[in-house]
Amino acid sequence: MKYEMVAGLETHIELGTNTKIFCNCTTAFGGDPNTHCCPICIGLPGTLPKLNKQVVEYAIMAGLATNCEIARVSKMDRKNYCYPDLSKAYQISQYDMPLCEGGYVELSNGRKIRLTRIHIEEDAGKLIHDRGDTYVDYNRGGVPLIEIVSEPDIRSIDEAKEYVEKLQLIMKYIGISDCKMQEGSMRCDVNISVRPQGSQTLGTRTEIKNMNSITYMAKAMEYEFNRQVDVIENGGKVDQETLRYDEVTDTTSSMRGKEDAHDYRYFRDPDLVTINVTDQQIEALKKTLPELPNARYSRYVNDWGIPENDASLLTKYKKVSDFFEAACDGTENPRTAANFIIGQIFRTLENDSAKEEFNVAITAQNLNQLIKLLDSKKIRMNLAKSTLDKMLETGKPVNQLISESDMGGLDDATMLKLCNDAITANPNAVNDYKNGKEKAIKALLGFVMKNSRGKADAVAVERTIKEIIK
């Protein structure tokens, strides 16, 4: 029998506010244990929390960017459970009146992963296990989160990965979080079940907690899917439980029985007032949203003629996309800027993190000036490429690397002389070409391009050399 995966994700995203959700403690990553907390963070008797307004605004922006309906009235609730990383023995969250409801994230295959809700809440502290001892660091406690809860619409690991990547990109584009999974500012809980293919009945789900890597999330989902199929095919029954994933053994194991909402004994937090949001506030926040990655991708492909793969690479990193936009300003063909960025500039960046940061030696305006010289035919492509390499190496602008004498092409007589010089200086390459080695012509072409300082037309040079040595 064939089985189908059914998965939904609960994605926790740390908001990029300077202070915590209910107090003035810093949200900065790191720091010595228990130095970024105060009596309000850890819920000492007599303390009163006060909701950070920017947290509400960031959550609304997230909701608008994911097509949610924004609640005009919502409230904060206490989610009660005892665990060492939760000093108050309850977490302030939202239950039956979340800030955002509905919405969706559209995948590249056209499927829409529906969102149940987006709500705000505080983060818990962090447990540190060392040589059999357990320590608690409350620095992270009270850091503001949004939790984005999807419907069980995900049907494959690839869809899960794309959904998380799209969420990550959207939140970065609107500027509410850096979504650095390696630092814990984006984490996923994966709810997963299996059912016979074609069935509409949901199976018993398990929850894999605290996935902070897309790669490990994919591995955990693959293992858990296969484990559940094995249990069912061997006549067993899948238990509803919360699991942890072990990266070393590539397996999941039980942490505890899976809770339902009634287990948390939610009730309204008596210390916090009702959240009221006006239509005017929503409209004002809507106007602050930038063009979102899907819209930008469509514009690149449909309006600017950028190939789909290139458009994906450009929109994958917001800083790259912003750089590209500025580099294209007033130029004739956006594909020129795209080729320079994806080709030469990306070669100087080691990995995805470097592309994300995009700390390059030149500005978008520098690249724009270089492209405009190409557009005006003052320089040729080969000179533009070599100049860009020098710009990336030195950080110097175009006007310090290309003089007026470098601009413009070669006259026919000069080009003919350089072609003859190339033939004279490279007899072995000439013989190789005459003996059928087509690539030998590149040595002759390189000679001319080098000695013309890139001013020669490569196509015309190659044609001329071939005519001479026939």
Interval 193-234: pLDDT, tens: 999 998 899 999 999 998 999 999 999 999 999 999 999 999
CATH number of 412-468: 1.10.10.410
- Distance (Å, rounded) from C-alpha 314 to C-alpha 440? 36
At 394 the three-state DSSP class reads: helix
Q: Which residues contact 180 (CB under 8 A, 6 or more apart)?
A: 186
Tokens of 12: 């926790």
Query: What's CA 183's distance to the chain center, in Å?
Result: 14
Q: What are 348-362's pLDDT values in tens digits?
A: 998 888 999 999 999
- The H or E element that residue 224 is part of is helix 214-233
Provide the pLDDT for residue 467.
82
Q: Tell me the domain boundaries of the chain.
A: 3-284, 291-406, 412-468
Q: How close are the terminal C-alpha atoms of the chain, in Å? A: 68
What digits encode the pLDDT tens for the residues 36-77?
A: 999 999 999 999 999 999 999 999 999 999 999 999 999 999
10 Å CB burial of residue 434 (0-12, 13-18, 19+) is exposed
Reported as a single tens digit per residue, the pLDDT across 159-187 is 999 999 999 999 999 999 999 898 889 99
Over residues 87-112, mean pLDDT:
95
Q: Look up the pTM and report it.
A: 0.84
Distance CA 97, CA 76 (A): 8
